[in-house]
Structure 1
Amino acid sequence: MSTRRTVLSALSAGVLAAGGVVALGPAPAWAAESRPVGFASLNGGTSGGSASAVVTVTTASALKSALSSGTSQTVRVSGLISISGMYNVASNKTVIGVGSGSGITGGGLNLSGVRNVILRNLVFRNAADDSINIQSGTTNVWVDHNDLSNGYDGLIDIKRGSDFITVSWNRLHNHDKSMLLGHSDDNGSQDIGKLRVTYVHNWFEGTGQRHPRVRFANPVHVLNNYYSNIGSYGVASTENAGVFVERNYFENVGKPTVTQTGDSDPGNLKVLNNYRVNSGTEQVRNGASVAAIPYSYTPEANNTVKATVQAGAGTGRI
């Protein structure tokens, strides 16, 4: 398998190992998987909305109606639609941008207590709150090939017992607090045993912190991401979380990983073969407490991650 090829693409090739574990095989130098990889491929998988029920929306009212409909469907977003507040997304939806410049400005998407949602190829700009908020026991979500910037709060926040989620091939830029995983130090009763997320092939470009910032979740897999010119820190593990930071590319990152931030208690963090250019030392803690990753995968070589992610992350790639 070429090191320039991305990993985690077996589902697009239709390969499934015994016991439901994903067997991952070769793919192009930048991927446009037809199905999610990592945690979103488990727990019955994430297929999104029906491909035969398709609606194209160009206005805020049409978008709001399509997203909240109880129909399993694919919602095609055409153009950059200005909205106010957070629009709720129902279960069994695929929301996909048309071309490279379609998406949402001024507001965000809220996934609360739903299942089986795919968000792809969307631009998110200038959200007044979160750009994407996944909460309240939501499961099986794939957030893939989006471009997010300039939000008020988090760009992709996952919290309140949500689970089995993959965040892949997104470009995050011009923002401070990028991605929260677990919202509060007091929410362990709901979050312990949940919040299992795969972060793979994302590009964090000049962002400040939370890439991600983790509470309680174990394991969280941070694999083959590119971090460039990060202001505060890369990955944070707190509140006894277990985070595996593997073969990422850190460039101009003073603190690639930290095991405590804010008022939170420390978390556990294990690193393996990350590539560092003009970057500081990784903090690690009690790597034996980081649970094993429950799917098979073949990681990309760390020194090729930058080129792969720059070529493939963001919109216009699927």
Structure 2
Amino acid sequence: MRRSVAVRLSALLATGALAAATGMALSTSTASAATGGVTGYATQNGGTTGGAGGQTVRATTGTAIHQALCGRASSSTPIIIQVEGTINHGNTAKVSGSSCNTAAGVIELKQISNVTIVGVGNGAVFDQLGIHIRESRNIIIQNVTVRNVKKSGSPTSNGGDAIGMESGVRNVWVDHATLEASGGESEGYDGLFDMKDNTQYVTLSYSILRNSGRGGLIGSSESDTSNGYVTFHHNLYQNIDSRTPLLRGGVSHIYNNHYKNLNESGINSRAGARAKVDNNYFEDSKDVLGTFYTDAAGYWQVSGNVFDNVTWSSRSGDNNPAGPNPTSNTSVSVPYAYTLDAANCVPSVVSQTAGANKGLKVSDGSCTPQSPDPTDPGPTDPGPTDPDPTDPPTGTNLSLGAGADGSSKASGTSYGNVIDGSTSTYWSPSGSTGSVSVKWGSATKVSKINIRQASGSGTVNSYRVVNQDTGAVLASGSGTGVISFSATSLKKITFEITGASGTPRIAEFETYAS
């Protein structure tokens, strides 16, 4: 059966004043880089693992993100930064240190490597604040929203790019992100996803790019052709004027994306760029593929695409659309394995998977979205056992005789019902989300829990298992059943429901040492 990956995140240090001042908490042991496995060109050139094997940092401000980078032993020390809340100009200051080079008003990933930034909990929103990657490598950005970044007006950040990369950047994976603006250049916005000045081996997957004049580019000018080896797959481009993306030189692989309401032009291959364009769905759009606004030709190999209510302009001068019947004018091979969804099902698959806070769902080519597969947990981390109601644990249920409490409870339910050994009683949160905890008077070693639901329960779409002593996230994923993680001694453990369909009914919260 398909089950979500439970991401192992280790014990956080209780940092007290530091957390209060910067919105940051630190961890001392290792963690998984991100849920799900890296795909596309980011798997090449040694692969992209982000902060796998490094400390875990929890950040609720931009200053805390910078503090985490600057607090490392070196600029290449692996680190995983879990972000929750709204990051904006008011809470993003410059921080100095030998392992960082930061600036106020932008998340600055400059001259560093081996970093993961991942949204957790109720989500991470970078509001009017861009993420700038410069002279860096091995970066993962996952499950975040970046919105309304401006290059003119007030406030400004990152040259108006939601995510921008430049100057020798290598191996970046951006996954399940939502990048959006509220207009075009005249309103002060620039690109949503830009790469220039020798940026290579990048994958953008399962993301939403919308409501912008410019989707993004590879190469800042016709002479900036040192960029490339970029994969775009299972993304939604919606209400974009142009640049979905603009390609100058290099090789790109563009597959299983949904393009909707492209107002002026779409994939713009120019200056010798070569694009492999497979099984995409283009809808209600104009001039979705070609060479536009230049006489420096680019090239494409097309296969399996659907053009639904697409209009094409006439060829003249520097306007050379590929349609109305696009055919290949080059051949492109890629060095990695991939599986294509049929183009006809791309709108449905992308609508269920792309963007932040979608449960990190992916596709395996079956046209049916799947939660991340435990047999493919990510770049380097084998991961713990995922929720499985068919695999009950053995040994003593440590919850029997323990105490219980929680964040909220629905009328007529009780925290104590999850530790009474009966599946006929249950706890429910007061809404669709909430948390329930099991606690002991002294430290107790736990490495596995079993969440049993009562009949009529709503579906748990996302959860976290938290060491309440320290705030460490021991596991996260979706569903209920058996969840395993590294053995941890603690006095209180929490099952936190962060997303659900309907109201969950938790009958038993069992805990086991092994």
Q: Bin the TM-score by the shorter chain.
A: 0.7 to 0.9
The alpha carbon displacement at 1:103 in A equals 2.5
Alpha-carbon distance in 2 for matches of 1:51, 1:145? 22
**Unaligned stretches of 5+ residues in structure 2:** 3-33, 90-103, 151-159, 183-188, 313-320, 361-514
Within the candidate set 44, 48, 51, 1:49 is matched to 51
- 2:339 alignment counterpart: 298
Match of 2:467 in 1: none
Q: What corresponds to 1:12 in structure 2? A: none
Q: How far did residue 289 of structure 1 move?
A: 3.5
- 1:38 and 2:40 aligned: yes
1:135 and 2:166 correspond: yes
**What is the rounded CA distance, in whole Å, between the counterparts of 1:172 and 1:67 in structure 2?**
27
| Aligned-partner Cα distance in 1 for 2:221–2:255 | 24
Q: How does 1:1-318 map to 2 (within 5 A)?
A: 34-67=36-69, 69=72, 70=75, 71-83=77-89, 85-89=105-109, 90-99=112-121, 101-128=123-150, 129-150=160-181, 152-188=189-225, 191=226, 194-217=227-250, 219-259=251-291, 261-263=292-294, 265-280=296-311, 283=322, 287=328, 289-316=330-357, 317-318=359-360
- Pick closer, same or farther for the CA change 1:257–1:74 going to 2, 3 Å: same
Q: State the secondary structure of the residue aligned to 2:345.
A: helix
Q: 1:72 is matched by which residue type in structure 2?
A: P
| Structure of greater relative contact order (alpha carbons < 8 Å, 6+ residues apart) | 1
Measure the CA separation in 1 of the matches of 2:223 and 2:50. 32
Q: Structure 1 segments of 4 or more deviating over 6 A?
A: none
Query: CA–CA distance in 1 between the matches of 2:253 and 2:193?
Result: 16
Shift of 1:186: 2.1
Identity of aligned residues (%): 33
CA distance in 1, matches of 2:42, 2:295: 27
For 2:43, the aligned partner's letter is S
Rounded Cα–Cα distance in structure 2 between residues aligned with 1:179 and 1:271: 21
Secondary structure class of the residue paired with 2:310: coil
Corresponding letter in the other structure for 1:86: V
Q: Per the alignment, do residues 311 and 134 of structure 1 end up closer, same or farther by CA in structure 2, a change over 3 Å counting? A: same
Task: Work out the CA distance in 2 between the residues paired with 1:240 and 1:50.
Answer: 36
- Taking structure 2 as the reference length, the TM-score comes to 0.52
Q: So what's the TM-score if we normalise by structure 1? A: 0.83
**How many angstroms does 1:287 deviate by?**
3.8
C-alpha deviation, 1:288, in angstroms: 5.2
After superposition, the C-alpha distances for 1:120-162 in whole angstroms (9 at most, x for unaligned) are 0011011122111111111111010001111721111011111
Aligned to 2:420: none
Check conservation: 2:301, 2:332, Cα contact below 8 A.
Answer: no
Q: Distance in 1 between matches of 2:191 and 2:68?
A: 24
- In the alignment, the residues of structure 1 paired with residue 84 and residue 46 of structure 2 have an alpha-carbon distance, to the nearest angstrom, of 30
Cα distance in 1, alignment partners of residues 253 and 296 from structure 2: 20
Give SS of 1:289's match. Answer: coil
Deviates more, 1:129-138 or 1:68-77: 68-77
Q: Give me the whole-angstrom Cα distance separating, in 1, the residues matched to 2:113 and 2:295.
A: 33
Shift of the 240–304 alpha-carbon distance from structure 1 to 2, 3 Å rule, reads same
Deviation at 1:56, TM superposition (A): 0.8
Structure 1 residues 155 and 79, CA gap change in structure 2 (3 angstroms): same
What is the CA-CA distance between 1:35 and the residue it aligns to?
Answer: 2.0
Distance 1:279-1:99 versus aligned 2 partners, 3 A rule = farther
> Contact 1:100/1:315 (CA < 8 Å) preserved in 2?
no
Once the two structures are superposed, residues 152-203 of structure 1 have per-residue CA deviations (whole angstroms, 9 ceiling, x without a partner) of 2111101111111100011111111011111111223xx1xx4110000000
Deviation at 1:60, TM superposition (A): 2.4
Give the CA deviation at 1:33: 6.0
Distance in 1 between the 2:223 and 2:235 partners?
A: 29
Gaps of 5+ in 1: 6-31
Between structure 1 and structure 2, the one with the greater Rg is: 2
C-alpha displacement of 1:115: 0.9
Q: Distance in 2 between matches of 1:263 and 1:288?
A: 18
Residue 91 and residue 224 in structure 1: after superposition, are their counterparts in 2 closer, same or farther (change >3 A)?
A: same
Residue pair 2:302, 2:327 contacting (<8 A) in 1 also? no
- 1:33 and 1:65 map into 2 onto residues whose CA distance is 24
1:206 touches 1:230 (CA, 8 Å); kept in 2?
yes
Change (3 A) 1:226 1:286: closer
Cα separation, 2, equivalents of 1:275 and 1:92: 38
Any conservation in 2 of the 1:159–1:195 contact (CA below 8 Å)?
no
**What's the secondary structure of 1:134's corresponding residue?**
strand
Q: Is the 8 A contact 1:80 1:123 kept in 2?
A: no
- Report the more deviating stretch, 82-91 or 146-155: 82-91
**Residue type matched to 1:73 in 2?**
I
Q: Per-residue deviation at 1:264?
A: 5.3
